[in-house]
Amino acid sequence: MTAFWTEPDYDDHELVQLVRDHVSGLTAIIAVHSSHCGPGAGGTRFWHYPEPKDAMRDALRLSRGMSYKNAMAGLPMGGGKAVILADRNKTKTPEMLAAFGDAIEALGGQYITAEDVGISEADMVAVSKRTAHVSGLPAQGEDAAGGDPGPFTAMGIYHGIKAAVRHKLGKDSVQGVHVAVQGTGSVGGGVARLLAKDGAKLTLSDIHDDRAKALAQELGAQSVASDAIMGIACDVFSPNALGAILDDEGIARLEAPIVAGGANNQLARAHHGEVLAKRGILYAPDYVINAGGIISVATEHLARQAGKPCDINEVRKRIAHIPGRLEEIWQESDSSKLSPDVVADKMAQKLIGR
C-alpha cells in the first residue's frame, strides 16, 4: 500500500489504521477523519476490493463524508468509517468479527462502528461481544429505538421531501404531489409508504422489478422499469438506490423540479450540483437529507453510554431538524448563488473547524 497521506482523498485524516489478524485472516482499515465534534462515528463496510488502494480510497472518502454528515445533523460525533477487505467469496467468520471488535476496543472509543454495506445487525452483535464502541444493535423494548437504521433514514427523507415541496412548489402538503422513487429497498420502500399515507402520487421502480410491482400494488401506485424512472415527468425524483446517478446524461433526462432522496454520493462529480442548479432543479444534499439513520445509531450509542434505553422520541426529535437544515442551505444557496451541495460542504467544513 502506498503512503496513504499522498492519496488524493487524504484530507488531514486524524487516524488511519491498518488492522491485520493473521489467525482469522482479517484485513481492515479504520479511518477517523475528524474528532472535532466528538468520537469518529460511521459504519463498517464489508466489501471485496479489486486492489488495496480502492479500500483505502473508500475508507478516506467515506470517513470524511461521515464528518460532514454528523456535523450537519447536529450530532456530538466526528467522522469515521471502517472497511473490511473481503476475499472474492466474501468469506466472513466469527473469528474475523471478534478480531475486528478487539481492534476497535484498542482504539479506546476514538472510533464507534455500526452497520454498512455487507454488515448486518447480527454482525454488530458479534462485534459488541468484544467492544462497547458499537451501535446499531437490536432495539430493546417497544418504545426503544436502535437496530436497523433504514426506517429512520426513510423518515428523514420523507420530512426532507416535504420541505423541498414547500420551498420549490410552495405547497404545504404532498397530497397529489407526484414522486418518482428509484429503489424500493429499506430506504426507498419506507419513503414510499410514508408519502402514500399523505396521499402523494407515486411511481416506483427497482432493478428487482417484482419488488417495485409488489409495493406499487400495496400502495395503489404505478411502477415502471428501472431504466425509465429518471425520465418520468413528476414533481420530485427521489433516488434511493445507487450513487453517482446524477451525471450529465442522468441530469439531462430529469423531468422533475426537485431531487430529494437517500442514496449516498448521488452527484457523479462535484460540478454536477452546479449542473442541476443551472437546470433550475432544487437539490437536497444527500448527506443532509439521509442523516436519519446515523441520528438513530448515534442516539442509541449516547443512550447506552448513559446507561439508558434509546428513546425513540429523542431520535424523532433530532430527525425533525433535517428540514430546517435543508431550508437553511437552500436560502443560503438562493442568496449566494452557490449550488446547495457547495453551500452544505462549506457549512459542514465550518462546523468541523476546517
Select from 82, 81, 59 the least CA-distant residue to 70: 81
CA angle 96, 102, 108 (to 5 degrees): 150
> Could you tell me the smallest distance in angstroms from the CB atom of residue 98 to ligand NAD?
25
Question: Which lies closer to ligand NAD via its Cβ, residue 67 or residue 184?
Answer: 184
For position 241 contacting ligand NAD by CB under 6 A, the verdict is yes
Q: Cell digits for 164?
A: 423541498
Question: Which lies closer to ligand NAD via its Cβ, residue 132 or residue 207?
Answer: 207
For position 262 contacting ligand NAD by CB under 6 A, the verdict is yes
For position 140 contacting ligand NAD by CB under 6 A, the verdict is no
Alpha-carbon gap, residue 335 to 340, rounded angstroms:
11
Of the candidates 128, 290, 299, 339, which one interacts with ligand NAD according to CB under 6 A? 290
> Could you tell me the smallest distance in angstroms from the CB atom of residue 294 to ligand NAD?
7
For position 263 contacting ligand NAD by CB under 6 A, the verdict is yes
CA angle 63, 187, 138 (to 5 degrees): 75
Residue 115: φ, ψ to 5°? -75, 150
Residues across the chain: 354
Question: Which lies closer to ligand NAD via its Cβ, residue 188 or residue 250?
Answer: 188
Question: Which lies closer to ligand NAD via its Cβ, residue 228 or residue 252?
Answer: 228
For position 333 contacting ligand NAD by CB under 6 A, the verdict is no
Question: Which lies closer to ligand NAD via its Cβ, residue 17 or residue 265?
Answer: 265
Of the candidates 35, 67, 113, 153, which one interacts with ligand NAD according to CB under 6 A? 153
CA angle 9, 286, 218 (to 5 degrees): 135
> Could you tell me the smallest distance in angstroms from the CB atom of residue 248 to ligand NAD?
18
For position 238 contacting ligand NAD by CB under 6 A, the verdict is no
Residue 294: φ, ψ to 5°? -70, -30
Question: Which lies closer to ligand NAD via its Cβ, residue 26 or residue 289?
Answer: 289
Q: Residues 69, 81, 162, 168: which is the catalytic one?
A: 81
Q: Footprint of ligand NAD on residues 74-133 (CB under 6 A)?
A: none
At a CB cut-off of 8 Å and minimum separation 6, what does 141 contact?
309
For position 226 contacting ligand NAD by CB under 6 A, the verdict is yes
> Could you tell me the smallest distance in angstroms from the CB atom of residue 84 to ligand NAD?
17
Q: Which residue is closest to ligand NAD by CB?
A: 185
For position 242 contacting ligand NAD by CB under 6 A, the verdict is yes
Q: Footprint of ligand NAD on residues 180-209 (CB under 6 A)?
A: 182-188, 205-208
CA distances from 187 to 169, 193, 344 (A): 24, 10, 22
- For the question of residue 81 being annotated catalytic, the response is yes
For position 222 contacting ligand NAD by CB under 6 A, the verdict is no
For residue 340, how many C-alpha atoms fall within 13 Å in the half-sphere facing its CB? 24
Interface with ligand NAD (CB under 6 A), residue total 25
> Could you tell me the smallest distance in angstroms from the CB atom of residue 2 to ligand NAD?
27
Contacts to ligand NAD by CB under 6 A:
149-150, 153, 182-188, 205-208, 211, 226, 240-243, 262-264, 290, 293
Active site residues: 81
